[in-house]
Amino acid sequence: MRDFSGLAQILIPQDKDKINLKTALCDLPPESVIRVKGTVRLRPDGQENKEMPTGEIEVLAESVEILNVCRKLPFEIKDFVKKSESLRMQYRYLDLRSSQMQYNLRLRSQLVMKMREYLCNVHGFVDVETPTLFKRTPGGAKEFVVPSREPGRFYSLPQSPQQFKQLLMVAGIDRYFQLARCYRDEGSKPDRQPEFTQVDIEMSFVDQAGIRGLIEGLVQYSWPVEKDPVSTPFPCITYEKAMKDYGVDKPDTRFAMKLMDISKTFHNTEIEFLKDALNQPGGCIQAICIPDGAKHLTGKDQESLKQTARTKFGQEVSVVLVKADGALKSPLNRLMPASAKQQLLQMAQARPGDLLLISAGTQECVRPLLGKLRLQCAELLEGSGVAVRDPSAFHFLWVVDFPLFLPKEEDPDQLESAHHPFTAPLPEDAHLLYSLPHKVRGQHYDLVLNGCEIGGGSIRIHKASDQQHVLETILKEDPSLLSHLLEALDSGAPPHGGIALGLDRFLSIIVGAPSIRDVIAFPKSFRGHDLMSRAPDFISEDELKSYHIAVNWPAGDKGNQEK
């Protein structure tokens, strides 16, 4: 007999007058629901099961009531039975009976409860619910729309309560938090969900250190007791340093293999492509060193690394093996003087048997490329049995001093917000906002765990004039769409800042789940479908009438409606 807490052995008495119990139970399909009354007793000597938490006892049944009979199920409820993802989703109510999913959902509940205790009871935060039927954000292309009963008017499901949390600061709710449901219509992206939950926090009269300290305490307080405790403060590095060492703004610091600039080695090189790379503005040559890479990475592995460089970055990468005698197994070997080779091995801290991945080009291209290959190498090494990252380790990291604006991809003369237009500049860069905005660093901070961004926030602009300048002059957006926020900032807004943690992602890392779907009770498929109820679904034209909308069927598609 099983409930959520585990199994218990039921003993059917062999007495003749209990024969009915035997008949009832033995004919019952698995997963049927029963109520047993009986006596808990120690199992007879030698019949204990040390593998089971309840292995020392059994229940001597006196009566049995069959509460519900189970049909034949599409799969067995056994942890070792592997099911396809789509079958799991279609019968989610069966999938959730697995001990792993029970653990995930129950841990989620407990962790969230601890977070609430910390914020509400320990730190006096006010839990405020904000609307999800809201107005479209300027440029909010990823927001679902909800038609209203007024022709042409739509609500929008917000991607975050950003505006509301700032308005609450203006409203004198000086410490706000909410477990906020957020929506993002991103079509089919791997491991994204159209609705997700963030731990949303905002405070008045706070600085970056204040928010960071609060969150470190929050994580520590809510951390599962069965895991090793988290130590604080979390390390904190700048965006520049993260890009320099790891080639990415969310570094996985559970392993080294950092990026190294080896430009100096090739200062006077005659090798054409390296020379060209160094001569361009921002040009550099960088490397990562894979310890014992020669042994652990096959030729196929090395080819897949080159393939990544080509397809994702349009770049070549040189894979260089360090031989026992310090020579390089590479076309570079004969083109480099011995002193340069010596310097290279020294700078890259490479030893015989290591593999070097070398890339040349602009810093903006080389860093992300090597950052990506660094992670791919870790996976490849782990695939061949090398312990690169401790699966029980949790490396938290703050990344700070992000640029406030980035050049737009489609028009590099234009600037766009690196995160969002409400982030305040660093105080020491504030004067540049009106002269050299592209040089301004923002008071933004990201919380990274094991190489995943699990949260981000900022100190906000609290002066209407600065906010207006950012929106209108720098970002060239129509400030009238945010007039209510600008008016609010002009109505006695305190300095304020906050953060949002991605709860689903955070939990999936804690429980070691491959996907956020494993910490969500009823997730959507990657195409955004609920495979259990078959949502989204067709609805009648009649039902759309009150919303004054009609479906634009693509040519030849209308017939599918009846599917």
491-520: contacts with its own copies (CB under 8 A): 491-495, 520
For 541: left if phi > 0, alpha if psi spans -120 to 50, otherwise beta; the answer is alpha
- Decide if residue 68 touches its own copies (CB under 8 A): yes
Cα–Cα dist 536/73, whole Å: 25
- Nearer Cβ to its own copies (399/520): 520
The footprint of its own copies on residues 432-471 (CB under 8 A) is 462-463
Is the bond preceding 536 in cis, omega lying within 30 degrees of 0? yes
- Decide if residue 534 touches its own copies (CB under 8 A): yes
- Decide if residue 167 touches its own copies (CB under 8 A): yes
Cα–Cα dist 257/231, whole Å: 24
The footprint of its own copies on residues 370-389 (CB under 8 A) is none
- Decide if residue 121 touches its own copies (CB under 8 A): yes
- Decide if residue 477 touches its own copies (CB under 8 A): no
- Decide if residue 490 touches its own copies (CB under 8 A): yes
Asked if 153 and 134 count as a contact pair (C-beta separation under 8 A), the reply is: no
CA angle 537, 541, 545 (to 5 degrees): 120
Residue choice 8, 59, 120, 511 for contact with its own copies (CB under 8 A): 120
CA distances from 378 to 41, 298, 375, 386, 389 (A): 52, 14, 5, 9, 8
Residue choice 1, 11, 87, 96 for contact with its own copies (CB under 8 A): 96
- The gap between the terminal CA atoms of the chain, to the nearest Å, is 42
Asked if 457 and 444 count as a contact pair (C-beta separation under 8 A), the reply is: yes
x-marked contacts with its own copies along 540-559 as a string, rule CB under 8 A = ---xxx-xxxxxxxx--xx-
Asked if 12 and 62 count as a contact pair (C-beta separation under 8 A), the reply is: no
Asked if 420 and 162 count as a contact pair (C-beta separation under 8 A), the reply is: yes
Query: Token pair of 525, please?
Result: 């498929």
Cα–Cα dist 180/115, whole Å: 13
Grouping H, G, I as helix, E, B as strand and the rest as coil, residue 409 is coil
Query: Token pair of 333, please?
Result: 């070997």
Cα–Cα dist 504/192, whole Å: 10
Q: Which stretch binds its own copies (CB under 8 A): 304-312, 318-326, 360-368, 539-547?
A: 539-547
- Nearer Cβ to its own copies (257/461): 461
Residue choice 156, 238, 304, 525 for contact with its own copies (CB under 8 A): 156
Name the pairing type of β-strands 405-407 and 415-417.
Answer: antiparallel
- Decide if residue 78 touches its own copies (CB under 8 A): no
Buried b (16+ CB within 10 A) or exposed e, 412-422: eeebbbbbebb
- Decide if residue 122 touches its own copies (CB under 8 A): no
| CA contacts within 13 A on the Cβ side of 20 | 6
x-marked contacts with its own copies along 12-41 as a string, rule CB under 8 A = -------------------xxx-x------
CB of 85 to its own copies, least distance (A): 17
- Decide if residue 129 touches its own copies (CB under 8 A): yes
- Decide if residue 170 touches its own copies (CB under 8 A): yes
- Nearer Cβ to its own copies (32/363): 32
- Decide if residue 207 touches its own copies (CB under 8 A): no
Asked if 446 and 250 count as a contact pair (C-beta separation under 8 A), the reply is: yes
CB of 549 to its own copies, least distance (A): 5
- Decide if residue 488 touches its own copies (CB under 8 A): yes
Task: Say which residue the tokens 């390390």 belong to.
Answer: 235
Q: Which stretch binds its own copies (CB under 8 A): 290-298, 365-373, 489-497, 510-518?
A: 489-497
Residue choice 48, 83, 195, 347 for contact with its own copies (CB under 8 A): 195
- Nearer Cβ to its own copies (117/228): 117
Give residue 523's identity as a one-letter amino acid code: P
| CA contacts within 13 A on the Cβ side of 25 | 19
- Nearer Cβ to its own copies (435/552): 552
CB of 113 to its own copies, least distance (A): 5
- Decide if residue 526 touches its own copies (CB under 8 A): no
Residue 500 burial (C-beta neighbours within 10 Å; 0-12, 13-18, 19+): buried
Q: Which stretch binds its own copies (CB under 8 A): 149-157, 214-222, 234-242, 342-350?
A: 149-157
Asked if 356 and 348 count as a contact pair (C-beta separation under 8 A), the reply is: yes
- Nearer Cβ to its own copies (174/472): 174
- Decide if residue 209 touches its own copies (CB under 8 A): no
Give residue 85's identity as a one-letter amino acid code: E
Q: Which stretch binds its own copies (CB under 8 A): 179-187, 234-242, 294-302, 356-364?
A: 179-187
Give the interface size with its own copies as a residue count (CB under 8 A): 115
- Decide if residue 86 touches its own copies (CB under 8 A): no
